[in-house]
A and B are shown apart, each in its own frame.
Chain A
Amino acid sequence: MKITKEEVSHIASLSRLSFEPEELDVISLQLNDILIYIEKLNGLDTSGVEPVTHAHDLVNAFRDDEVKEWLSNDEAMDNAPQSDNGQFKVPRII
């Protein structure tokens, strides 16, 4: 196995996701298949090749330091499941 069930659980908890044990089995197997497939890339000799971070070779896109208004508070709250006094209301974490 390329990835253990423990690792999958760990990533799930970092992502605030929870799975039933059966689901965890299925996901682990699927992730394992994906990793085996991706591993084919390791067969290539990449010594002397600079790591690529972006698919195109554009560099240096900047904005000037100017302020623009965009959303009102009402608009900002539009998608919030719960809000109060112009603030997003969320379950307390710590």
Chain B
Amino acid sequence: MEFEAVIGLEVHCQLKTKSKIFCSCSTDFGAPPNTHVCPICLGMPGVLPVLNKKVLEYALKLSLATNCSINNRNIFARKHYFYPDLPKGYQISQFDLPIAEHGWIEIEKQDGTKKRIGITRIHMEEDAGKLIHDDKRPLSYVDLNRTGTPLLEIVSEPEISAPEEAGEYLKVLRELVRYLEISDGNMEEGSLRCDANISIRKRGDTELGTKTELKNMNSFRHVQKALEYEIRRQTALMLDGQKIVQETRLWDEAKGITLPMRGKEEAHDYRYFPDPDLIPVEISAEWIDDIKNGLIELPAQKRERFKAQYGLPYEDIRSLTASRALADFFEECVKKFNNPKKVANWIMVELMKLLKQDALDIAQCKIQPQHLAELLLLIDEGKISGKIAKDILEKTYATGRPPTDIVNEEGLLQVSDDDTLYSVCKEVATENPKEVDKFRAGKKKVIGFLVGQVMKKTKGKANPKRVNEILIELIG
């Protein structure tokens, strides 16, 4: 019997506003406990929460970027539960009238085909605080700095049918929030969090099976591994004729399994009702148009344009558009050195290697687009060799000095002067009689070694193409 998985994801995305969603406390991470708090986020009686306008703008941006319909009337609701990370006894969220519904994003499957995953809804809400449990006594310590940090919850339709698709969906979503500059989108640091609903059914069935909810996955890899495990577990139960229990399960990374969440499994009973403290939000068509007009080029559009404008292979385009900053760097560079493929190669190979060593982002890099363009022009004009260019790139990377300055100050200009090259080539030929004989006997590859010797003697400054020609002329 063949089974298929039905997966839906709930993603919480932390917005990078300066202040909290309903009060003016800082959202900075890592401050001493309970120093970014006020009577509003501490849940004191008699306070008045007021919505941060930026949160709404960010929510609208993501709603438009995910092709959602925007509800022009929004209300906030109280979601009740009792837990010490939530001082008011309820979380301010949205229920009946969320900001956006019925959207989709497009993912790319393993086989290269595209698939749309529906977005059920997006809503705004506040984050809860942080609990640290005492490992010896039955006590917990509460830090409410995070309480009131703005979140968007993005709920997908159960249209994801494999763990890899779930991973791809998250990547597309992360790329979107980063392009829009509304969130850091970092799963490891918790600015992007993901819960998954998963059930399996016989392939071809239309009815949904009993689902489990998976939590505690802190990276894309964890999400995929937890889903893979859960598919195996549910399949084994089905084949064994057992029932799947609807429950919340936690991913245990160390053991590589999911386990039922301990503690009383209480049926969700959040007793939602409209929050009387927060007045409704009405979003005019003009406002939506404003946001739409201000929207930057999204990753999918950028990739289409790159294909048409630069004619690069698909893999190159994927790498170059992985972030907005990288794509901008590439385009700036091509403006000054109009050879897209060469620019792409240098960015993806040499520049990425340097950035990777120090785990830096392109935005933190001292190499400017004009530096790389300058360097490629120097190679193109035959003034430096590719090998020297790599050394120069490293120097520019470390110091931010323009390549032309480095070339001039360190005398790195390529030697193309034939008199000098002829004499060095003669020297090399005399010093390496065996290789010369091999070459004459038909082992043409030996020329590479001889060119290498010339390069060594000239400290990499000789023009290798010319050296090649001269050597063949001399010994051929």
Interface residues of A (CB under 8 A from B): 10, 14-16, 53-56, 58-68, 70-73, 76-77, 84-94
For the complex, what is the distance from the CA of A84 to the CA of B280, rounded to whole Å? 39
> Are A67 and B19 closer than 8 Å at their CB atoms?
yes
> Are B33 and A85 closer than 8 Å at their CB atoms?
yes
Q: Choose, from B133-141, B202-210, B459-467, the stretch at the interface.
A: B133-141
> Are B33 and A93 closer than 8 Å at their CB atoms?
no
| A16 partner residues in chain B, CB cutoff 8 A | 82
| A61 partner residues in chain B, CB cutoff 8 A | 50-51, 279
> Are A54 and B280 closer than 8 Å at their CB atoms?
yes
| A86 partner residues in chain B, CB cutoff 8 A | 32-35
**Closest A residue, CB atoms, query B49:** A63
| B80 partner residues in chain A, CB cutoff 8 A | 14
**Interface 0/1 of B258-295, CB less than 8 Å to A:** 00001100100101001010011110000000000000
> Are B141 and A71 closer than 8 Å at their CB atoms?
no
> Are A66 and B24 closer than 8 Å at their CB atoms?
yes
For the complex, what is the distance from the CA of A10 to the CA of B267, rounded to whole Å? 11
For the complex, what is the distance from the CA of A61 to the CA of B75, rounded to whole Å? 12
A-B contact pairs, 7 of them (CB 8 A): A14-B81, A54-B279, A65-B17, A67-B19, A68-B24, A89-B139, A90-B142
The smallest beta-carbon distance between A90 and chain B, in angstroms, is 4
CB-contact partner of B52 in A62, A90, A93, A94, under 8 A: A62
CB-contact partner of B279 in A59, A63, A66, A93, under 8 A: A59
For the complex, what is the distance from the CA of A14 to the CA of B272, rounded to whole Å? 13
Known: A54-B75, A87-B142. 5 other contacts (CB 8 A): A53-B75, A67-B25, A76-B34, A76-B35, A92-B139
For window 17-31 of chain B, which residues contact chain A by CB distance below 8 Å? 17-19, 23-26
| B82 partner residues in chain A, CB cutoff 8 A | 14-16
CB-contact partner of B140 in A53, A60, A65, A91, under 8 A: A91
| B75 partner residues in chain A, CB cutoff 8 A | 53-54
> Are A54 and B276 closer than 8 Å at their CB atoms?
yes
> Are B51 and A88 closer than 8 Å at their CB atoms?
no
Interface of A is mostly: loop
Q: A54-B279, A73-B35 are in contact. Are A87 and B18 (CB under 8 A)?
A: no
Q: A76-B42, A93-B84 are in contact. Are A65 and B34 (CB under 8 A)?
A: no
For the complex, what is the distance from the CA of A76 to the CA of B36, rounded to whole Å? 10
| A91 partner residues in chain B, CB cutoff 8 A | 138-140
| A62 partner residues in chain B, CB cutoff 8 A | 50-53, 56
Q: Is B38's CB within 8 Å of the partner chain A?
A: yes
Q: Is B336's CB within 8 Å of the partner chain A?
A: no
The smallest beta-carbon distance between A30 and chain B, in angstroms, is 19
Chain B CB count within 10 A is highest, among A60, A65, A70, for A65
| A14 partner residues in chain B, CB cutoff 8 A | 80-82, 266, 269, 271
**Closest A residue, CB atoms, query B284:** A60
> Are B19 and A71 closer than 8 Å at their CB atoms?
no
Q: A90-B140, A92-B134 are in contact. Are A76 and B18 (CB under 8 A)?
A: no
For the complex, what is the distance from the CA of A81 to the CA of B137, rounded to whole Å? 18
For the complex, what is the distance from the CA of A31 to the CA of B241, rounded to whole Å? 46
> Are B39 and A70 closer than 8 Å at their CB atoms?
yes
Q: A61-B51, A70-B24, A91-B139 are in contact. Are A53 and B39 (CB under 8 A)?
A: no
**Closest B residue, CB atoms, query A59:** B282
| A94 partner residues in chain B, CB cutoff 8 A | 262-263
**Closest B residue, CB atoms, query A86:** B33
Q: A87-B34, A91-B138 are in contact. Are A63 and B50 (CB under 8 A)?
A: yes
> Are B37 and A71 closer than 8 Å at their CB atoms?
yes
For the complex, what is the distance from the CA of A9 to the CA of B276, rounded to whole Å? 27
The smallest beta-carbon distance between B137 and chain A, in angstroms, is 8
| A90 partner residues in chain B, CB cutoff 8 A | 84, 139-142
For the complex, what is the distance from the CA of A75 to the CA of B81, rounded to whole Å? 26
| A70 partner residues in chain B, CB cutoff 8 A | 23-25, 37-39
| B42 partner residues in chain A, CB cutoff 8 A | 71, 76
The smallest beta-carbon distance between A48 and chain B, in angstroms, is 18
For window 82-101 of chain B, which residues contact chain A by CB distance below 8 Å? 82-84
For the complex, what is the distance from the CA of A85 to the CA of B140, rounded to whole Å? 12
For the complex, what is the distance from the CA of A64 to the CA of B142, rounded to whole Å? 28
Chain B CB count within 10 A is highest, among A56, A66, A70, A72, for A70
CB-contact partner of B18 in A54, A55, A66, under 8 A: A66
> Are B83 and A63 closer than 8 Å at their CB atoms?
no
The smallest beta-carbon distance between A16 and chain B, in angstroms, is 5
Chain B CB count within 10 A is highest, among A15, A68, A92, for A92
Q: Is B144's CB within 8 Å of the partner chain A?
A: yes
Q: Is B132's CB within 8 Å of the partner chain A?
A: yes
> Are A63 and B52 closer than 8 Å at their CB atoms?
yes
